[in-house]
């Protein structure tokens, strides 16, 4: 749901979810699609212990390194995107001033639990990424991340048969607990489902 606020500037899209669910891989898949559309993009990562995610994106060559900023979370991944997101807001404002034609800033949370949510003063739209290998009971466990996010992304669909996860059940229960709000199945290694994720962002925050 898009919230009204007085902030101008690029759209901000939050990406949360548990450790290893594929948040960084999703960003790696989204960046070329936005660039191809002619959108200007920047990324903020919230690494927990290292700057691994920021470095991975910088090394990927998908974006100029100065468009990828790391914000340390002080061991509190949800605090810096929800209760006290001032450093992430500050990083986004700095990027906005530095790159005046930015269209989108992707803000990746540090890996967290199912209760993780974004402050709507920080982002305009946010996604929650889970994966099949965490178990097919994850959607019905609810949690604010699963229920409240604007888009639920269920990643690593290719692994489902190998870990005994029932993807159809995850979709059915995901839609149930989310009251019918959108969810997308992805494989961030091959790009499956990414176009649909990009379209959700475009339709909800870029409006073109």
Partner 1 sequence: MMNDDRVFTLLQHGDSIFPSGSVSFSWGLEMLKNDNLVTSSVGVEDFIESQLHDKWGTFERVVLAHCYEHAKDLQAVIPADNLVECMTLPSELREGSKRLGSALLSTYVKLDNPVAKQYQAFIHDNKAHGHLVVSQGLLWHSIGLPKNPVLTLSAYNFCTSALSAALRLGLISHIDFQMTLTRLGKSISKILTWPVPEIEEIHGFTPVSDIASMRHEKSETRLFIN
How many of the chain's residues bind partner 1 (CB under 8 A)? 22
| Contact residue for partner 1 among 9, 32, 48, 196 (CB under 8 A) | 48
66 binds partner 1, rule: CB under 8 A? no
**Whole-angstrom Cα distance, residue 106 to residue 128?**
13
Q: Which stretch binds partner 1 (CB under 8 A): 22-30, 85-93, 165-173, 179-187?
A: 85-93
Q: Indicate which single residue of 3, 37, 65, 79 sits in contact with partner 1 (rule: CB under 8 A).
A: 79
Piece of 86-94, 125-133, 139-147, 177-185 that binds partner 1 (CB under 8 A): 86-94
Contact stretch for partner 1 (CB under 8 A) within 31-39, 87-95, 154-162, 188-196 = 87-95
Closer CB to partner 1, residue 74 or residue 191?
Answer: 74
Find the binder of partner 1 among 11, 30, 54, 73 (CB under 8 A): 73
Residue 110 vs 139, nearer CB to partner 1: 110
Q: At residue 89, what are phi and psi to the nearest 5 degrees?
A: -60, -45
| Alpha-carbon gap, residue 186 to 159, rounded angstroms | 11
Report yes or no: 178 and 172 within 8 Å, Cβ to Cβ. no
Is residue 121 part of the contact set for partner 1 (CB under 8 A)? yes
- Give me the least distance between CB of 119 and partner 1, in Å please: 9
Residue 190 interacts with partner 1 (CB under 8 A): yes or no = no
Binding site for partner 1 (CB under 8 A): 48-51, 71-76, 79-80, 83-87, 89-90, 93, 97, 121
């Amino acid at each position: 749901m898009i919230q009204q606020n007085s902030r101008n500037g690029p759209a901000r899209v939050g990406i949360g979810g548990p450790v290893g669910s594929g948040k960084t891989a999703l960003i790696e898949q989204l960046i070329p699609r936005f660039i191809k559309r002619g959108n200007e993009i920047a990324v903020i990562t919230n690494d927990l212990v290292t700057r691994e995610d920021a470095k991975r994106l910088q090394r990927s060559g998908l974006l100029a390194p100065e468009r990828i900023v790391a914000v340390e979370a002080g061991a509190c991944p949800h605090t810096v995107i929800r209760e006290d997101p001032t450093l992430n807001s500050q990083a986004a404002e700095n990027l906005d001033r530095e790159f005046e034609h930015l269209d989108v800033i992707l803000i990746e949370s540090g890996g967290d639990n199912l209760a993780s949510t974004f402050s709507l003063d920080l982002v305009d739209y946010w996604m929650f990424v889970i994966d099949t290998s965490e178990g097919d009971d994850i959607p019905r466990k609810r949690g604010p991340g699963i229920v409240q996010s604007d888009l639920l992304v269920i990643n690593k669909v290719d692994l489902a048969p190998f870990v005994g996860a029932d993807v159809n059940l995850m979709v059915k229960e995901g839609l149930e607990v989310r009251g019918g709000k959108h969810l997308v199945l992805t494989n961030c290694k091959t790009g499956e489902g990414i176009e649909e994720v990009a379209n959700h962002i475009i339709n909800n925050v870029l409006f073109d």
